[in-house]
Chains A and B, each alone.
Chain A
Amino acid sequence: MLIIPCPHCGPRPELEFRYGGQAHIARPVDPSPLTDQEWASFLYSRDNERGIHAERWRHIHGCARFFNVVRDTTTDQILASYKTGEARPEGV
């Protein structure tokens, strides 16, 4: 069980969180002009990193906020945790 640092509440056990998939995939502001291919890519294409991965978590049994985590999927080391809307920190 991971210890996940919520940027609002601090480190908490994984049981308090729900995984939210890959981070930094913004919904297009206006999806209508997108080609079917582009839209399908937005819907379904996700990275499957063996290594450093930016992902979303929701502190569902805490502050209920979504936030982002950079995690090494091979070691489960958490390299950064930051609020929704913030840029991925330099260097991780």
Chain B
Amino acid sequence: MPDSLAPDFTAATVNEPFRTPSGGRIDRAKPVTFSFDGKAYSGVAGDTLASALLAHGVHLMGRSFKYHRPRGVMTAGSDEPNALVTVSRDAGRTAPNLRATQVELYEGLSAISQNRFPSLGFDVGGINDRFAALLPAGFYYKTFMWPRSFWDRVYEPVIRASAGLGKVPTAPDPDRYLQRHVHCEVLVIGAGPAGLAAALAAAESGLRVILCDEQNEFGGSLLADTSSLIAGKPAQVWLAETLAELAGYSHVTLLPRTTGFGYYPHNHVGLVERVTDHLASPDGAQPRERMWQVRAREVVLATGAFERPLTFPENDRPGILLADAATTYLNRYGVKPGKRAVIAAANDSGYRAALALAEAGVEIAAIADLRRAPSGTGYDAAKRAGLPIETGKTIAGTSGKMRVDGASIASVGEDGTVWKTQDIACDLLLMAGGWTPTLHLYSQSLSKLRWDDTVQAYVPGAVAASQALRAAGAASGAYGLEAALSTGFKAGNDAAVAAGGDAVTTRVFVTVCPAGDASTFLGALPHNRDANRVRAFVDFQNDSTAKDLKLAVREGFRSVEHAKRYTTTGMATDQGKTSNMPMLGVMAQAQGKTIPEIGFTTFRPPFTPTTFGNFAGAARGDLFDPIRRTAIHHWAEGEGAVFEDVGQWKRARYFPRQGEDMHAAVARECKAVRGSLGIFDASTLGKIEVVGPDAAEFMNRMYVNPWTKLGVGRCRYGVMLREDGFVYDDGVVGRIAEDRFHVTTTTGGAASVLNMMEDYLQTEWPDLNVWLTSATEQWAVIALQGPKAREVLAPFVEGIDLSPAAFPHMAIAEGRICGVKTRLFRVSFTGELGFEINVPPSEARRVWEALYAEGRKHGITPYGTETMHVLRAEKGFIIVGQETDGTATPDDVGLTWAIGKAKKDFVGKRSLTRPGMMESKRKQLVGLLSADGRTVLEEGAQIVADPRQPKPMTVLGHVTSSYMSAALGHPIALALVEAGRSRMGETLQVLVPGRGSVAVKLVSPVFYDAEGARLDVV
């Protein structure tokens, strides 16, 4: 059946044979139609997908990961390992791996099962189950090792296709996700009885309280509790009153459908609120999810406990549930999970389930208790009710194909011998294996877990130093309603006091309820069958069995962290919520050790799978990163510029005219600059104002160049190194006054250069009297480059004599242009006569347009970064980050001339004399000319002497820049080549992937106007 098959809702199965006539927190008057695997069903408001399917007697909800065994729902909550479904609204709104136990029903919900092909009932992958003997622990590691080439072509595709934990959406996610940052004094996670009591206590202190719960309704265990009394009232009446009380506090925030997914340092807790997933037609104004980043002074974890499955042979058939899940389906959802039940009990929870089911008319075939002498409130009541209790019994196996149809009950002798007593027909088998406190968040906080022998569980230990939290109720190992309420209230009160609130008078919750019970059985249940053949599942989602774990121990994987990875136990999407303690039990058994001796695995966020949208929030598309646009941006847009991203900036790359590709446009722009005049937006250049009495000394220390003697009104090309001697940044620096430098940096380097300057100034030389100010946004920069530059510029400038004598190359002056203040640089990154006009961004567009209008007499041509790159390469000017890669010294790129030889020290100087930095075989900047006169080399291509040499070849260098030069009529390239300057005139080979190599001649990196005559054309 294709997944896309549209269900026919008019044909929905409305008869719900397993729905009880009354009771539960559902609304039978509100039918809800949904589909599962293309078949339409009817449920009711308040159902989850799991409860609605169970109402139709549908237990088979998935296939297991490795063996593709039929699996039914096992739990009623976030610990569900089996019933994973994909819920889709459309191609972009498709969520895989959702637990059917947590999917709230809405009208028209469409869910499909996973891990099956072609259908849930008939699955070809189930063949794996027949060959289980071939798929032992670690089979991935053992089997798919050789030959290497098979991994990419055979093993991985096949494994991926047959594994398939759901499928990713095929369209972009159209939903919105928001994030909120909030502070509170007390955050309570979990709104069962313990959490509610904690919130009550904290709320009374008047402090800001947040109470959240992953379920759609607050109440936790109370939602399925139809018998207990609190303060003389039925538990659910007390629940309603308590919620009303909490809702009345303006300082209390209640967040249902909100999972505490991660506990981070300094009491920073991540919550994800599912806002619209439960709605049939979500309001477009609402985000799908809202992440609450909570900074809480104190946290109370009232996260309850998960029931433990029991590890007996074939414990994974559909129809085998946790006992408390059965109670929940019956009491909360009004669904009978079967007609005839066998209960495997190691805890009183089994008896409570049996009593509730019996009352609802489910036949109790047998209660097989592992204990010889059980006790407990439920046990006593079951005994009084005459339910068939058998003690000292184990489950030796089960039968059934798509659903359990029988259980083998066996006796366990005092000496451990097992003999089968009877096969009992049943369509429901419940496991009551005791409880595991839910301490994922506690462990994530780096607080310690401590083994408690009396409750046979890990319980909260020492709180991590930088955190402030406590656990209450079942999460702390205090089981039962009465303990939940009292420990919860105390925890809430203690948290409020620790957060600065006043102590609240103690409340006593008078309860009538079953006593808490910590009885459990850890390890594989005894049986009388061939231990090498039977499979008792420990991790249901990843299909690891007791046998696998024992094999891992035999093969030497004694550490729980190693055995976990080897067998993949606990590593599925449920992160071992149901499998963790059974795994430790089996490993302890296999090694003859106690559980604390085995150790414990670490919990990591998220508690349950969390969407990428939750983390991305609004940071996608245009909001992923700030976009910086220059004052000229819109003008360039109007001229049809093609933009490129340079850091966060959008820069015009070229300005194509009708029919031009990039190469044609760049060739035209290059010719215009060299022939007449080009105009270029250089506003993105980083600018730093260095000011103060010690400004020159500071510059002397930061840059390789000497600055003391640079005259006011003059500029110098500055080179900055890191302390390790490698080129870090470069740019023209102008001296505005004795105590004032206008420093420019690369576009991408502005922030990091300022950071490095601040670092030295603040931490190494605090004695220097210097101020640093970022001025990147204060100055827009218009570059006029070309022989006509002065002629076009002059009419607009006031207060600066532009004559060559008064304003030579590398001069700077302050004056006015178009009536606006300017810092005018005479500089050239093209080799032509050039000016860089700094003006306030608010005036830049006006100045630009005035210059452009005047320039049209001379064919002024706007050019982009691509042309700028070609022009500077023709002149052999490097670009930091293109010719350099963080391992180039000034000498490597031909900048030794810039170094102030007389300076005693500057950042990086000492490193330049380390032996490796002076190696004669270092790569040096050279020019390359293709021998054929027409091949434009590939940037990044490797350079060798002999392309026919055996691999791995001796690589002599690589191409750093490569362009077609319009001015020269042939390609040019820059490269870093081993001892390149001593190889001038040599021919080497540049490798071209798939096409052999191209011969190149090594030449000077200055291709055009080596004598610099064009700077001074008149």
Contacts and interface: CB of A to CB of B under 8 A. Distances in A.
Contact of A75 (B464, B755, B762, B914): B464
Interface string B104-142: 000000000000000000000000000000000000000
A43 B799 CA distance: 49
Nearest to A60: B755
B909 interface: yes
A36 B223 CA distance: 72
B918 to A, nearest CB: 11
Given A26-B764, A75-B465, A34 B759 contact: no
Contacts, number: 66
A3 B904 CA distance: 42
B697 interface: no
A85 B766 contact: yes
Interface string B748-771: 000000010011101110100000
A39 B759 contact: no
A92 interface: no
B738 to A, nearest CB: 26
B762 A65 contact: yes
A75 B766 contact: no
Interface residues of A, number: 30
Contacts of A74: 446
B910 interface: yes
A50 B246 CA distance: 44
A60 B264 CA distance: 22
A20 B759 contact: yes
Contacts of B911: 39, 43
B268 to A, nearest CB: 5
Nearest to B723: A43
A76 B764 contact: no
B265 A66 contact: no
A48 interface: no
Q: Which of B265, B914, B915 has the most CB of A within 10 A?
A: B265
A66 B762 contact: yes
B268 A1 contact: yes
| Interface majority SS (helix, strand, loop, mixed), chain A | loop
A76 B266 contact: yes
Given A2-B266, A3-B295, A18-B755, A75 B466 contact: yes
B905 interface: yes
A9 interface: no
Contacts of B466: 72, 75-78
Nearest to A39: B910
B724 interface: yes
A58 B755 contact: yes
A27 B464 contact: no
A27 B265 contact: no
Contacts of B464: 75
Interface string A1-18: 111000000000100001
A40 B914 contact: yes
A32 interface: yes
Interface in B743-796: 755, 758-760, 762-764, 766
B1010 to A, nearest CB: 36
Given A75-B466, A77-B465, A3 B266 contact: yes
A2 B265 contact: yes
A30 B905 contact: yes
A31 interface: yes
Interface string A40-67: 1001000000000000101010001110
Contacts of A66: 758-759, 762-763
Contacts of B264: 1
Contacts of B766: 84-85
A34 to B, nearest CB: 7
Given A36-B914, A75-B464, A75-B465, A31 B909 contact: yes
Contacts of A30: 904-905
Contacts of B268: 1, 3
Nearest to B722: A43
A72 B268 CA distance: 17
Given A1-B265, A65-B762, A32 B914 contact: no
A43 B266 contact: no
Interface string B291-309: 0010100000000000000
A18 to B, nearest CB: 7
22 contacts: A1-B265, A1-B266, A2-B266, A3-B268, A13-B295, A18-B755, A20-B759, A30-B904, A32-B904, A36-B915, A39-B911, A39-B914, A40-B914, A56-B763, A64-B758, A65-B762, A66-B759, A66-B763, A76-B265, A76-B266, A84-B762, A85-B763
Interface of A: 1-3, 13, 18, 20, 26-27, 30-32, 34, 36, 39-40, 43, 56, 58, 60, 64-66, 72, 74-78, 84-85
Q: Which 10 A-B pairs have the closest CB atoms?
A: A31-B910, A77-B465, A76-B265, A77-B466, A75-B465, A3-B266, A66-B762, A1-B268, A27-B764, A76-B466
